[in-house]
Structure 1
């Protein structure tokens, strides 16, 4: 625990375990950590930050606390108020595939844990790139399917099959699962995503790493096979090409 990066990982994991009971603490902590990750590459003060799929607005609010002009675009109104919170002023209900923004308006385009919920990740990424100015930063993280948390609320039983995992969850909790594979959760993989991003000519990959690992975070994503299980959550830092 002397290593601050290890302390960070443990703190985030503990908060995640209590996410259902104390979402305010969990998401506030996660937003602060994500903003720190962005600011390792670019200060956000006085920058335009577009938060795509940011749910209740915790990330948007954190960027605003740091002096950014930050705006939330979320497709699901119920997600904006899921934890009893009021979405940040100026929030827009909008589809991430078709953002109501002009080209190149954002200094930073931010998307946390959204990609696994979209059927067409390449189109979604293209829209993030479109609204980012040349030289601007794009932050994308997502929970890959073969991560221990890939099945979300019915993880890790998704390793035995999605339908079996959902059925087990519903038997155990007595309530319907929030996610259904192929409807609002999709099996995206680290290797495939990296190949798709690296094949693009409109972005440069600044970093591809595990979002939460305290050590060897970048090395893990370079090992085929292993990375699908060990990455847990893939973080991509991309730079929009001129």
Structure 2
């Protein structure tokens, strides 16, 4: 396992030469904001939604199957937005996955040509699937051990609801992303149907109640323990953070991850988004 330092990985000269300059990327980002049909939107079909939602029943019993599908979808999502932004594929891009766990996403990003680096604070979680990712880093998402402006892409999938200070983590993700680079944060909304994870739907009666009920029913604590490894995060929280980051980044998109394109309007309706968005995706380009 490699330790990262504040210098961080540096792109090669060949990689730098293939990319537009940061100022050009920022201008392209401004042009992309509000586009009705980004590449990923065309992929966001009802069939995709049903496939992803159907895989949730395997999260506890067959995590490789569940996270494998999420990994494929995440690499496609990142690849589409990055291609729209830069005109380039992921080949040679440095991708930091905050909360990367055991490295389920590694194969998908490596197959796309990216240099994939997961960061995970829990050594047990890093080895949970018996996987080994070259260059994996043990560290906290709330204090990333990388220098400023180090990475082409910084992503976090389904992690923000598991840390006590998710917007501190978001700030760190933006800090280490280079100007013109892409940041993607996706997280489970507490008031949605999957907010309580394995303790749902009883989380609607309170996170602590749901955890106690789970313990009584199963004889052991839930993996995602409310107040310790699971926290109530709202869709409004992420949208507010993105708005406040407007002086440092352009928001390319904010949409419900597991919904088809025609249902993305749910994000714009205050109360409904908390109940029906389920998982919010924020995609930003750093200025």
Pick from 183, 188, 206: which aligns with 1:143? 188
TM-aligned CA deviation for residue 4 of structure 1? 7.5
- State the structure with bigger RCO (CA 8 A, min sep 6), 1 or 2: 2
| Corresponding residue SS for 1:199 | helix
Cα pair 2:234 2:274 within 8 Å, conserved: yes
Cα pair 1:220 1:226 within 8 Å, conserved: yes
For structure 1, which segment, 85-94 or 106-115, has the greater mean C-alpha deviation from structure 2 after superposition? 85-94
| Corresponding residue SS for 2:106 | helix
Whole-Å separation in 1 of the counterparts to 2:175 and 2:270: 30
TM-aligned CA deviation for residue 109 of structure 1? 0.3
Cα pair 1:61 1:88 within 8 Å, conserved: no
2:62 alignment counterpart: 22
1:69 alignment counterpart: 115
Whole-Å separation in 2 of the counterparts to 1:142 and 1:30: 13
TM-aligned CA deviation for residue 29 of structure 1? 1.2
Whole-Å separation in 2 of the counterparts to 1:172 and 1:215: 38
Which is greater in Rg?
A: 2
Cα pair 2:211 2:226 within 8 Å, conserved: no
CA change 1:158–1:4 in 2 (3 A) is closer
> Structure 1 length as normaliser, TM-score?
0.94
TM-aligned CA deviation for residue 61 of structure 1? 2.6
- TM-superposition CA deviations, 1:40-64 (whole Å, max 9, x none): 1113111110111011111133111
| Corresponding residue SS for 1:116 | helix
Which runs of 5 or more residues in structure 1 are unaligned?
A: none
Q: Where is the helix percentage greater, Structure 1 or Structure 2? A: 2
Whole-Å separation in 1 of the counterparts to 2:208 and 2:112: 43
Q: Which runs of 4+ in 1 moved over 6 A?
A: none
| Corresponding residue SS for 1:95 | coil
Query: What is the RMSD of the two structures over their aligned residues, measured on CA atoms?
Result: 1.5
Q: Are positions 1:82 and 2:82 aligned together?
A: no
Cα pair 1:51 1:60 within 8 Å, conserved: no
1:227 alignment counterpart: 273
TM-aligned CA deviation for residue 122 of structure 1? 2.1
TM-aligned CA deviation for residue 151 of structure 1? 0.9
Q: How many residues align?
A: 238
| Corresponding residue SS for 2:253 | strand
TM-aligned CA deviation for residue 121 of structure 1? 2.0
